[in-house]
Amino acid sequence: MNAEMAGRVQVQHVNVKIFAEDTAGVDLACAIPVFHRWIQENVCEELLIDVADYRHVPEGPGVVLVGHEANYSLDLSEARLGLLYNRKAPADHNPRENLTQAFRAALSACRRLEQEPEFHGALKFNAGECQVILNDRLLAPNTKATWQALKADFENFFGGLYGAGYTLDHSSDPRERFRVGVKAIDAVDALSLLPALDRLRTDP
Amino acid sequence: MKASNKSWKEVLIDRMPDRLAKELDIFENEITLKKQGKIDDKVFAETRLRRGAYGQRYDNGARHDGRVERKLAYPAASLTKGPNTLWDAPGMQRIKIPFGSLNAEQLETLAEVAEEYSDGIAHLTTRQDVQLHFVHIEDVPSLQRRLAAVNITTREACGNTVRNVTACPYAGVCMGESFDVTPYAKATAYFLLGHPDTQNFGRKFKIAFSGCGETACGLTRIHDIGLIAVTRQFNGRTQRGFEMYVGGGLGTVPYQAKLMEEFVLEAELLPLCQAMGRVFARLGEKKNRNTARMKFLVAKLGLEEFKRLVAQERASLPRDERWTSYLHDIARYQENALKPPSLLQISPSAPAGFEEWRKTNVAPQRQPGYVTAMVTLPLGDITATQLRKVADACRKYVRETIRVTVEQNLLLRWVSEADLPALSADLNDAGLGQPGAGTIADITACPGTDTCKLGISSSRGLAGELRKLFVLQNGSVDEAVRGLRIKISGCFNSCGQHHIADLGFYGVNRNKNGYAVPHFQVILGGQWTENGGAYGLAIGAVPSKRIPETVNRITSRYLAERQADESFQDFVRRIGKAECKKMLDDLTQVPPHDADPSFYTDWADAREYTLGDMGVGECAGEVVSPIEFALTACEREVFEAQLHLDGGEFEAAARTAYGSILHAATALLDWRMLPHEKSAGGIVDQFRKQFYDTQLFFDPFVGGKFAHYFFAAHENASVHHDADTAHRLVEEAQLFLEACHSCYGRVMAQPVAV
């Protein structure tokens, strides 16, 4: 990446996938009435539009709640179920703000899903294992240079979230979007991370 | 919506073909002008449609959530991108893939744009297009620039234009073809793309090629022009040509294409298509879109009269080098294999399910040692990750020879046979190794209520349910049933091609017990082979939730009562429509809402069913006169002049402003079909004579003032301009343009003498 490109790197269009724990008892069809109800009850900050069903696609997007500013999905990519938050609307260039916003939305959705009666308690997320994807190859090409440019921001953010006990793993396939796997040493409950996110938002 | 939208042009400027880059600059400027309220809704809608940017369900800003109809409060509020179509509402991007041919780099780019602008899924269509859903209009120029950088254009993917030119995906490797139609399909696609004679249609226009008449791979009988490769002996030489069928189409009332010419010489292919386009543009219906397809014109005129008019038009065409220039290389046209031919070695280490996959998804090529391998895509959907893995397979096993099929799958060609186990393993690894291509489990469905504004019932929901049923039964399905085809449309418009299926379904509504209930009309007797050789007939509507049982009952009876090798079509014909209907009578019943509310929701949709979500389709686009396009282009030129002015480029600003005036005057002359010289002086002279001297151009209040701007700009065309004079000329150009719009409006508003 040349200097011009390096100057262009931005943490925009943040995607956060928080992996589910044991998925054996989870019927993805249950997500359809749940997401339709979220639209009816307007439970998210974003303008919610519709539900798209991709359960027929192997390792696909699963069931997607399509919104204007962001999509939420119970995603099956890489054969692992997780809640994926896909931020579509652009924001000011502030890495921590943008990561915090996406994580807050994703964790809130995880918590809400865990409590939805259709899943009968079978759907549980481990907020200590997630992926962050920057869904814009121009602003965040998947290169070592991008990783070097953003590493401190990511360490700062996840240090604030998990403390010292976590690892970051940058996936280096240049055809993929910029993606970092994050794993805390211990499993983490979604609810317990929300106060840490509040602190991250208010800390200078 | 993407933060990077402003940067892609700069990054890709050296990678896009100049023509495509310029087209996209124009489109981006038109988007800017639309946001400024300077382009009419109707004109902008057709403009974006001609770039493949289509509307999607709920884009009128209202959606029934199962309880009440809700307004979708988008940030851009009342800003629109077409009549009753909100700016921020997600839309569909259709991407033309001529004859379905893709290379690895194109597959990777499709993956990128699917991930970044859509929902990570590329949807393959029955006309060898790729569609992305939930795309924001402001992302479209970036998306299209990235496609242009790998030589994909979306121009004329929708709207009243020549749509994607399709062809048999086996062309060049098929056992039964007369010759490879690929180079002819390619030449036709690019000759007609943007051709002036194809810009004034009242409706879309579809062309398909097939290498033979027997199989269905090209579906030539359902097209406006269907071309089947044939050869003949002439003076001891083999000549190539085409059977030319015209006036076919599905839609509400399907028409079988009629044989217009038994042998069109290859050199006559393009001029004859051009002549037919001119006849359709001149005589086709423009006001009533319901009768505007060419099939109605052929039916109205009669085949002989239509043929005579086309021949007359052909005779009047000035010769065009492009008609035959591509033929010089045609003998040398040949796809190549990556690897030498080989024979399959059956090995105990073959991947699980290999034999089953090979049986349904692999076919021998006419070139010994090579096979084709079908990548089966459920409902035509493929993820971005899978597209990259297919690209890898394209590079690893074949020389990037892959095609989209009309059954929404991907076909790898030139696979060396011994590579099949390894290819199968790689496809399995990508989740793409499912068997069942071309079987009853390989169901075709249009988008239906998932995303289409016209959808009545959930075609994809039903297809997913039926597919699950047959995949589960895979091993136990009888051979006679296994080969049947199911095709589903969400409404009567037949995008799912239900008329040519063994078992076809299209969505309808029925009111039962005081509720709307999703149903599907059952179509039996259609013929897939012989390029869609016969159309089936409706036998009755069945509730959506009882369609799986319907399929099971019909196929079970066929198995139980068929005579010897009786085909399904023959069986249906023998027992008769009345008996078929009777067979389903009890299945048409709908239980009361209290007894079983599931009947009152559709497949894969938890909301109580309603028709309140239906909108007005954009399939045909709006009929927009060429002058409206021309004046819109002038608007864009004035806008560009403003940009030059802002950048301190005064000479360029003045030159562009003058150009816009000249083009607007030309548009008026062309609209009135007044012959004129192409020189600026000739245009001025004719404009003065026809519009100024006649006072036709006069404004009711200021008379000929705006015409004088034109005359003065022409007289001063060679003078140097500073900031002031350039600024004035840009202003005058805008005023002249407004006067052109007014003149056009005044004349159109006048009563027509009968």
Instruction: Flag whether pLDDT at A7 surpasses 70.
Output: no
What pLDDT does A6 receive? Answer: 47
Instruction: Give Cα separations from A158 to A103, A168, A193, A197, A201 (angstroms).
Output: 11, 9, 11, 10, 13
Residues of chain B with pLDDT under 70: 216, 474-475, 612-624, 701, 749-754
The reply to whether A74 touches chain B by the CB within 8 Å rule is no
Yes or no: say if B674 and B690 are a contact pair by the CB < 8 Å rule: yes
What pLDDT does B384 receive? Answer: 98
Contacts of B432 in chain A (CB under 8 A): 58
Chain B: nearest CA to A165, how far in angstroms? Answer: 31
**Residue of chain A minimizing CA distance to B69:** A40
What pLDDT does A5 receive? Answer: 52
Q: What is the DSSP string of B699-753?
A: BTTTBTHHHHHHHHHHHTTTS---HHHHHHHHHHHHHHHHHHHHHHHHHHHSPPP
Q: What is the DSSP string of B576-618?
A: -HHHHHHHTGGGG----TTT-GGGGB-TT--SBP-STT-----
Chain A: nearest CA to B653, how far in angstroms? Answer: 31
Chain A: nearest CA to B359, how far in angstroms? Answer: 22
What pLDDT does B428 receive? Answer: 96
Cβ distance A50 to B58 less than 8 Å, yes or no, reads yes
The reply to whether A71 touches chain B by the CB within 8 Å rule is yes
Chain A: nearest CA to B701, how far in angstroms? Answer: 47
Cβ distance B383 to A61 less than 8 Å, yes or no, reads yes
Instruction: Flag whether pLDDT at A3 surpasses 60.
Output: no
- The closest CB to that of B121, out of A60, A89, A177, belongs to A60
Instruction: Flag whether pLDDT at A177 surpasses 70.
Output: yes
Cβ distance A139 to B116 less than 8 Å, yes or no, reads no
Hey, which residues 164-193 in chain A have their CB within 8 Å of chain B? 175, 177
Chain A: nearest CA to B112, how far in angstroms? Answer: 8
**Identity of the residue numbered B323:** W
Yes or no: say if A61 and A71 are a contact pair by the CB < 8 Å rule: no
The reply to whether A96 touches chain B by the CB within 8 Å rule is no
The closest of B138, B148, B154 to B32, measured between CA atoms, is B138
- The closest CB to that of B90, out of A49, A58, A77, belongs to A49
Contacts of B467 in chain A (CB under 8 A): 56
What pLDDT does B615 receive? Answer: 62
Residue from A38, A43, A50 to probe the interface with B (highest B Cβ count within 10 Å): A50
pTM of the predicted structure, to 2 decimals: 0.89
What pLDDT does A202 receive? Answer: 67
Which band of pLDDT confidence, cut at 50, 70 and 90, is reported for residue A2?
very low
What pLDDT does B530 receive? Answer: 77
Dist CA B27 CA B42 (whole Å)? 15
What pLDDT does B534 receive? Answer: 79
For chains A and B, count residue pairs whose Cβ atoms are closer than 8 Å.
117
Start-to-end CA distance of chain B, whole Å, equals 51
- The closest CB to that of A33, out of B2, B73, B606, belongs to B606
